[in-house]
Copies of this chain bind each other. A is one copy, B any other.
Amino acid sequence: VPKVSQEHLDARRAQILDGARRAFSRWGYEGTTVARLEEETGLSRGAIFHYFKGKRDLFVQLALDVDRSYRQLIMAEGFDAAIRAMANESAEWIGVVLETHAQLRHDPELEKLMTPSPEDQMRLIEWFRDRQEDGTFRADVEVMELGRFATMVLNGLALRVVAGDETDPEATIRLLNDALAPRE
């Protein structure tokens, strides 16, 4: 049996996820059939489902990647960078993510899969706490509430992107930073 390299496996997984993301953006979650997944990935259903259990598994993986990449961006470059990135997202893709979050909210198994691990959540809270301690963020509001507020602004922006509503990310950044800044 020839040994398949880890690089090959990783590249194949990435190829499938890229194609699946295009399929979901174009056809929505419900409209993404196995035939369309084959078309967009350029791979057979056998190959696709060798790497992922099914359509739902593919979607969960992509949605988790979005969540993780935003958390990483926030911790590496701050909320300013996350807001600029969200303002540039594709309406179709973010629309599918929100739509599916909403549709499947009665699916406890999926909800569990989509919830970030306590460690990931804690890391982001620590990021906020560090900024409280160095005086960037205000200390007179609970650190959890600062995180929730910033996330609400980012999610509210996601809804504007989905609706195709114009938004100036720089004004959003300025107002968010003023909300989080210490009061004189």
Contact = CB atoms under 8 A, between A and B. Distances in A.
A175 B183 CA distance: 11
A107 to B, nearest CB: 12
A143 B165 CA distance: 16
A154 interface: yes
Interface residues of A, number: 40
| SS of A interface (majority) | helix
A129 to B, nearest CB: 16
Among A148, A174, A176, residue most surrounded by chain B Cβ atoms (within 10 Å):
A148
A99 interface: yes
Contacts of A43: none
Interface in A128-184: 141-142, 145-146, 148-149, 151-157, 159-160, 162-165, 167-168, 171-172, 174-176, 178-180, 183-184
